Amino acid sequence: MKRRHAKYRHLLPPSARRRGLAPLEFVLCLPILLMLMALMINFGTVASWKVRSLGMSRDALWSTRWPRNGGTNPRPDFWPAGAGAGTVNEDDVEELDDTRARHPVVRGPLPMGTQVNEHLLDPGRGMRQGTATITRGYPMLGSLGEYELNANTYLLDDKWQHRRMGLASTHERRIPVIYELAKAPPAVSEAYTQAVMNVINAPFADDLRPMDNDDEYRYYGERFGWSTRSPDFYPRLRRFCSFDPDVADERVEDLVDRIQGKREDDDGVSRRVPSVAETMTRAFISLYERVIRAIESGGTQPLPPGATAEIAALRKKIDTLNEFLQTLQQN
Domain residue ranges in the chain: 32-156, 186-330
pLDDT for 18 equals 57
Decide if 210 contacts 280 (C-beta within 8 A): yes
Q: Which residue has the higher pLDDT, 262 or 311?
A: 311
Q: How far apart are CA 204 and CA 37, in angstroms?
A: 97
pTM equals 0.48
Evaluate if residue 268 carries a pLDDT over 80.
Answer: no
Q: How far apart are CA 249 and CA 165, in angstroms?
A: 32
Tell me the mean pLDDT in the region 211-236.
88
Evaluate if residue 194 carries a pLDDT over 80.
Answer: yes
Percent of the chain with pLDDT over 70: 89
Measuring CA to CA, how many Å separate 64 from each of 68, 75, 128, 132, 182?
5, 11, 10, 14, 37
Q: How confident is the model at residue 22 (pLDDT cuts 50, 70, 90)?
A: confident
Give the containing element (helix H, strand E) for 113.
none
Give the containing element (helix H, strand E) for 318.
helix 307-330
Decide if 266 contacts 250 (C-beta within 8 A): no
Evaluate if residue 19 carries a pLDDT over 70.
Answer: no
Q: How far apart are CA 47 and CA 34, in angstroms?
A: 20
Decide if 127 contacts 157 (C-beta within 8 A): yes
Q: Is 196 exposed, middle or buried (0-12, 13-18, 19+ CB in 10 A)?
A: exposed
Measuring CA to CA, how many Å separate 134 from each of 41, 50, 146, 153?
18, 9, 10, 15
Evaluate if residue 9 carries a pLDDT over 90.
Answer: no
Least confident of 56-65, 291-300, 317-326: 291-300
pLDDT for 148 equals 94
Instruction: Tell me the residue ranges of DSSP E strands in the chain.
Output: 84-89, 115-116, 127-137, 146-156, 179-180, 262-264, 270-273
Q: How confident is the model at residue 296 (pLDDT cuts 50, 70, 90)?
A: confident
pLDDT for 17 equals 55
Backbone φ and ψ for 78, nearest 5 degrees, come out as -75, -10
**pLDDT mean across residues, the chain:** 84
Omega before 109 cis (within 30°)?
yes
Residue 273's DSSP bridge partners are 262
Least confident of 131-135, 195-199, 286-290: 195-199
pLDDT for 284 equals 95
Evaluate if residue 295 carries a pLDDT over 80.
Answer: yes
pLDDT for 160 equals 75
Evaluate if residue 142 carries a pLDDT over 70.
Answer: yes
